Amino acid sequence: EKLFVGDQVLRVTARDEEQIALLRVLGERTELQLDFWRHPARPGLPADLQVPFPCLQEVKTFLESNNISYSVMIEDVQELLDEEKKTMNKSRR
C-alpha cells in the first residue's frame, strides 16, 4: 500500500498568466512527482498541488522565489488517510 507520510497539499493562487505558466512548467517536472488535485486554470483561481515529502522544500522555494502565494491545505496526507481508515473500520464493526 502506497503511503503518503509527510506529503502536503498546497493551495496555490497565481496572480497572472505568467505565474500560471510557471506552475504548469513545475507540474511537468516528472522527477518531482507532483499531482495537481486542481489544475492551475486562471489568475485568482486556486490550484491544489500534492507534493511528496522529499520535494516539499524545493517546491516551496520555487513558489517563494517566483512570488507565487500559497498556503498549506493539508499538512500531512497520511494523517488524513489513517483517520479515514480508522473511521471506516469503526463503522464496519
Partner 1 sequence: TERSTSTFDFASYHTLDEIYDWLNTLVADHPNLVSKLHIGQSYEKRPLYVLKFSTGGSNRSAIWLDTGIHSREWITQATGVWTANKIVEEYGQDPSVTAILDSMDIFFEIIVNPDGFAFTHSSNRLWRKTRSINAGSPCVGVDPNRNWDAGFGGAGSSSNPCSETYRGPYAHSESEVKSIVDFICGHGSVKSIISIHSYSQMLLYPYGYKTVPAPNHQELNEVAKKAVSDLAAVYGTKYTYGSIADTIYMAGGTSVDWAYDNGVKYSFTFELRDTGRYGFLLPSSQIIPTATETWPALLDIMVHVLEHPY
- List of residues contacting partner 1 (CB under 8 A): 1-2, 4, 9, 11, 30, 35-39, 41-42, 45-46, 48, 50, 73-74, 77, 80-81, 83-84, 87-88, 91-92
Q: How far is the CB of 67 from partner 1 (least distance, A)?
A: 21
The dihedral sign for the CA sequence 29, 30, 35, 41: positive
Separation of alpha carbons 80 and 85, rounded Å: 9
Nearer to partner 1, 18 or 37 (CB): 37
Which helix (H) or strand (E) segment holds residue 82: the answer is helix 77-92
Q: Please check whether residue 10 is in contact with residue 59, taking contact to mean a CB–CB distance below 8 angstroms.
A: yes
CB within 8 Å of 15: residues ≥ 6 apart: 43, 44, 68, 69
Q: How far is the CB of 13 from partner 1 (least distance, A)?
A: 11
Q: How far is the CB of 35 from partner 1 (least distance, A)?
A: 6
Q: How far is the CB of 34 from partner 1 (least distance, A)?
A: 10
Nearer to partner 1, 65 or 90 (CB): 90
